[in-house]
Amino acid sequence: MITNPTRQRTLRGHKATRPTPRAANNADHQAVLAWRLTPRDRWIIRMLHEHRVLTAHQITALAFPSFRSGRMRLRELFQWGVVDRFQPFITVGTAPMHYVLAPAGAAVLATEDGLDIKELGYRHDRAFGVAHSLRLAHTVGVAEWFTALVDRARHSDADEHSTLGAWWSEASCARHFGDLIKPDAYGRWASAGGEIEFFLEYDFGTEVLAKVAGKLAGYAALAEATGITTLLLVWLPTARREATARRLLARAWRELDDPRSVPVATASAELLNPEAAHPSPADEVWLPLDTTSGNAVSTRRELHRLLDAWPHVAPPSTSTDSESALAPDSTLALMAPAPAPMPPAAISRGPSTGRR
């Protein structure tokens, strides 16, 4: 005999959530966006187009004073159809919301650059396709690496005066250098009077390390073709994996026709101090693979001091834009250029506008 029957209310399923109403992307809506979008909003649009996907935490660290203010503004951008979002499944905990470019945002970007959507290279299904990509974690990891640099720069003091001058995505690097190399990113970092430009190979612990070492020949070919020596940074998840990578990289480096043309430095995420206010790859975690001046190679260096290990490497161009001398021809296709990685300065607004 059943003495404790199941109550009816426990058999009811969860009530479906009501979908958030979103504005239609038409001419009237675009006219409204012209009034609503701030320079920071337009910068976020360009960053999402360039880097495909950024998490809520990354966008907040890049451009907002607090997570709450960033979350509120991103919610508005989502409701206006400027950005789209998804939340990947993870086995433990809850993943942060991931943001991609939505049709209304792509229309704004295309209009600003005098293009149409097709010339911009945007398709909504492809933008959302990153949610199912097997490289999603790697893409987000590279973005996290550069986000830490921007966060460090935003909180640097006047004496340090750090800034991230350039951040090209893997796709932008492929357009510029794809015949020879396909790095995960290109960047330019300046701090305390020192400045370097670099290519990044971001190891997620899943790629065969011998394959990473095999890429040195392509970087040597690029240096020979351009006459420009550019630093190669190899970031690894653990100190043990870094030690293995250094052995393979050193072997491949010595076999190059001109090893001096490919200066390499390695670091691992384990070396970052989790108790620091803003731990980042700018910290004293980089170990040069080799030097030509007899300096001890066992000394870890800060990112902006790495060129001290290679006196023959010229500092990057002092141009103020985000383009590199590596790519003097910027007419590669009708594509939006990589945006400046540092957010625009905040613009104060009256309380009646309702805009943040």
pLDDT tens, position by position, 151-208: 999 988 877 789 999 999 999 999 989 889 999 999 999 998 889 999 999 998 888 9
Q: Residues 251-279: pLDDT tens digits?
A: 999 999 999 999 999 999 999 998 988 89
Query: What sign does the CA torsion over 281, 284, 290, 294 have?
Result: positive
pLDDT confidence tier of residue 295, bands split at 50, 70 and 90: very low
What is 17-133's CATH topology?
Answer: Arc Repressor Mutant, subunit A (1.10.10)
**CB-based contact 262:232 (threshold 8 Å):** yes
Cβ atoms 306, 189 nearer than 8 A: no
259 touches 290 (CB < 8 A): yes
- Among 181-190, 245-254, 318-327, the range scoring the smallest mean pLDDT is 318-327
Residue 11 above 50 pLDDT? no
Residue 277 vs residue 350, higher pLDDT: 277
The proportion of the chain whose per-residue pLDDT surpasses 90, expressed as a percent, equals 64
Q: Where are the domains of the chain?
A: 17-133, 135-313
- DSSP character at residue 318: -
- Taking a C-beta distance cutoff of 8 angstroms, is the pair 109, 44 a contact? no
pTM metric for this prediction? 0.85
- CA atoms of 13 and 273, how far apart (whole Å): 46
